Each structure stands twice: as structure tokens, then as C-alpha cells.
Structure 1
Amino acid sequence: MSENTILPKITALAISFNEEENIERYIESLSFADEIILVDSKSTDATISIASKYNITIINKDFENFSSQRNFAISKAKNDWIVFFDLDEIITKDLEKEIIQAVQNPNNKVAYYVKRNFFFLGKRIKYGGWQKDKAVRLFNKKYCKYNGNLVHEEVAAIGKIGIFKNGLNHYSYKNFDNYNDKLNLYSKLQAENLYLQKIKPNCYHFFFRPLYRFIWQFYFRLGILDGKEGFILAYVHSFSVFKRYLQLWMKYRKID
């Protein structure tokens, strides 16, 4: 690459709500980015006061759903290449180098997956479906946007997607109440999505779907090999499936 070549610039985006434990580490790990934008859903803790110490752009926006929040953040980015990690994901120096190299030499790729190691109750979870967990964390906004799902949103890309050799550690679990609150939010958003599709819950959804989720995660996807942590994860996720259809049932009956 010649000295006169202009290197592509990178915008780092994040969405947040009450992330005072992670925000400082997250911002400092993105020192390689040319621009950092934080879209915050009106945090009530010290997230904003901590973030304000840094030279970043902070935007307050009411939370609607994950796709709209992320796509809004993308619309504010000055640069085409976007890194969009969750605040509970740890970006290593090796991953940083790989990101920079990919942006400089994309090799006809418009996005890149990052493999994730999930930690729960202080233990790395190797089974239950998490053994193949990956997510797009670098992409070119000219060819990519989030697919519109209210929850479990994914990047929809027009073009080839690569995958990085270096993964990251994902610490989604702070404490049990916090993790359960996340599942409650996911259940609510999934219920809203089903309501928009005019799907009405019945006995199949209330009894079979939660049971199937537990069996699928704990036995078929080998969560049993993660021991008690695998059992707890399978149980709380199966219960979140039950809550999804309970919340859907309540929406049809206009019950808060």
C-alpha cells in the first residue's frame, strides 16, 4: 500500500441502557476507531456520565426494538465501515488487528462474522447451541443493515460475508435478575412480533413449545454436558418461551 493511499475509516457504534459496568472498558477497547457513537436508551445509572469523559458522540433515543435502535445508529455514522459490538463483548488486540486488516483489504467481503464464547454464572458454556455462536460485528453500511426483527436481530448483507479467526468472550450474565430481565424483554418483543403476524396462542404454544425448547437445548444440543449451568440455561430459556406466549395471550385480551 503506497504512502498516498487513503486508509478507510471506521465508525464504532453501540446501543446502551444502564451499562456503567462495561462502558469505559468498551470505549477504550475501540481506540482504533475513527469515530465512536453511543445511542443510549435513557440510562438511569452512570453510563452517560462515564461515557461523557471521552471524545465520542452520545445520542439519547427511546428504545423501540433492537433493529430500529441499531439501524438508527448506522444512519448517524460518517464512515462506511462499521464495527457494532455489544457492550458485554470483549474486543482483544488480536481481533482489533484482524478488523483493521479486513477494512484495508476486504477481499470482496461486505461483512465479517466473529465467533463468540458465551459465559454464564462464571463458566464458559460450550454446548446447548452456544458452541457455534457467531455474529456479524464488522460490515460496510453500503451493503448491510439489520433485518428488522424486533429481537435477535441480524445483519442482512448484499454480498459475501467472511469470518474472523479470532473470536471474543461474551459476558452476557451480570447476575440472575439482570439475565432474567433480558429474557423478559426478549419475550415481550417476540410476543409483539407474533401479534403483528396475527398469530394466536393455543395449548400447543403454552405446553409443547416450552417443553420442546428445554429438550432441544438440554439434550439435542448437548446442554447437559455443561452440567448445572446447562440445566439452568435450558430451564430459564424454556420458561421465557412460555412467557412469550403468555404475553401474546395478554395482548389479545388487552391486559397489561
Structure 2
Amino acid sequence: MRREPLSVVVITFNNADTLDACLVAVDWAEEIVVLDSGSTDDTLAIARRHGARVAVHPFDDYGPQKQRAIDMATHDWILNLDADEILSPGTRAVIERALIAPRHAGFRLPRRERMFWTVQHRLSARNGHLRLFDRRRARMNDVEVHASVVADGPVKTLRAADFVNAGDADIASRVEKINRYSSGLVAHKLRRGQRFTGLRMVCYPPLFFLRQYLLKRYFLNGWAGFIASVTGAFYVFLKYAKLHEARRAVSTPGRRPAGGS
């Protein structure tokens, strides 16, 4: 039986360092769509070299930009990747089997993280991300910073599949990102009216560290796994600390909430 045709969707901004490896790993797909937001490096040239359909649109937020790229695609089955994500060898075959008469609205793919000078150990726990889906039954949500695909229907994890996030090559990059991301989430958490901020700020970071380092077996990654667990716990702390700060600013005349423009 023939499988469903596939469109690979990638949004970009100055991703010349990683885009080539990303697109090489998916050059078997029927279509590659690259939506750029004004790159000044060789990103667009690399995309065109791989035969991608290329368009440019100003970036307003991650979710809307991804949805624009999805809407540009010709085919209904979408593989949604970031420009620094690379399918591992063997994942193509797993995806192609899943797309033969699929009964699910989408499929999660386990992701291995780059941990500074190494890549996450295969025996440590990998988080599954909904990246392969039928766009007729799925779309991006509106969560700031961490927008993701939500599906209207059953979703299955392809445990034999794998892809690697090639970001965070050093600790400084990781710290800069978590500072930016934690600020970006404040408005979303304020709208949700998330409660028990102080309790979460005190209790969740150490629990997060223990879950990552022990239960998810990040200790298999040596010092890189330890540092990744600590910075992850710091990210959790910053999210709730900045939310606490924003609430104080809202309740104090003349002060502006964190993350405001």
C-alpha cells in the first residue's frame, strides 16, 4: 500500500548553522516548506538548495508563524520540525510505516536533547512531541513561547522513532534562552490565573531536578546531565518567580508587569 504524502514544515530565522542537516534528513518527503522571518545569513539559500518552497513573513509569535507554514503546505500530513532538529537514522522508515492507512490524528516523536557538549543518552527518558499529524484534525495552540500542536483525535507515540534537538551548544546559550522563555510565559500564566505561585516556586524546582536527574536518568549523561537538570530546575524557578513579580507589579500603582513592552 502507498503511504500518505508528507509535507515537512520548518520556520527559520538565521539558522544557516543547522538548517542543512535538518533538511538533509527529510529530503525524502514529497514537499519541504520553509517560512522565514527575515534571515540575513545563508538560510534562504540553503532552503532553496534543498528544493524547499520558501516564503517570508514577519515573525509575530511562534504558534501563528508555525500555523502559517502549515497552511502553506500542499499535503494534509505534516512533519513539523524546528530548524535545529534532525531526524535520527531509521526514523524515516518508522514514519513511512505509520503513514500507511493511518488511523490516528497524529504521532508523537521522542526527542533527544543536546546537552552542551554531548547529546542525550539513548537510555535516558525522552519526551514525546506531537510533530507528525493530519492538519485536518490538528493545529497549533496559542501558548506563548511553548506553542505546540493539539489534535482532535487519538495520538500515538512512535517509540522506535527519534530526533535530536541540536540547540544549546553551551551553558551561556541555555541560560539566555531560559531567561527569555520564562519572561515570555508570564502573560500566559497571568491569563490562566495560576494559583499557589509561592508554593510552586519553593517546591517544584527541587522536585523537577530529582525527576530529571534520577527518574529520567539524566545521570547517564555525566556532568552534562547534571548541569542540564540544574538549569532546568532554575527555569522552573524563574517562571514562577517572574509570575510572582508580575502580580506584585499589577497590584502596585505605577509599576509595570514583567515581560511588558
Take 1:191 and 1:136, find their aligned partners in 2: how far apart are those partners?
24
| Aligned residue in 2 for 1:101 | 97
The aligned counterpart of 2:9 is 13
Q: CA deviation at 1:107?
A: 3.7
SS at match of 1:22: helix
2:78 is aligned, of 45, 70, 82, to 82
Query: Which of the numbers 45, 59, 62 marks the counterpart of 2:58?
Result: 62
> Deviation at 1:236?
1.5
Contact (CA 8 Å) 1:120, 1:173: kept in 2 or not?
A: yes
Task: Indicate if the aligned counterparts of 2:107 and 2:132 stay in contact, CA closer than 8 A.
Answer: yes
Give every structure 1 segment of 4 or more consecutive aligned residues whose post-TM-superposition deviation is greater than 6 Å.
none
- Report the counterpart of residue 145 of structure 2 in structure 1: 151
202 and 116 in structure 1: CA distance in 2 versus 1, 3 angstrom threshold: closer
Percent of residue pairs bearing the same amino acid type: 23
CA distance in 2, matches of 1:27, 1:126: 23
Aligned twin of 1:175: 170
Separation of aligned partners in 1, 2:215 and 2:101: 37
Q: How many Å separate the matches in 2 of 1:158 and 1:202?
A: 31
Alignment-mate amino acid for residue 36 of structure 2 = D
- Residues 68 and 148 in structure 1, CA contact (< 8 A), matched pair in contact too: yes
1:160 counterpart residue number: 154
Give me the CA root mean square deviation. 3.0
TM-score, with structure 1 as normaliser: 0.81
Q: 1:31 aligns with which of 20, 27, 33?
A: 27
2:238 aligns with 243
User: 2:86 & 2:129 partners in 1: Cα distance?
Assistant: 14
Structure 1 distance, partners of 2:197, 2:224, is 31
* Residue of structure 1 equivalent to 2:128: 134
Distance 1:101 1:227, change over 3 A: closer
Structure 1 match to 2:228: 233
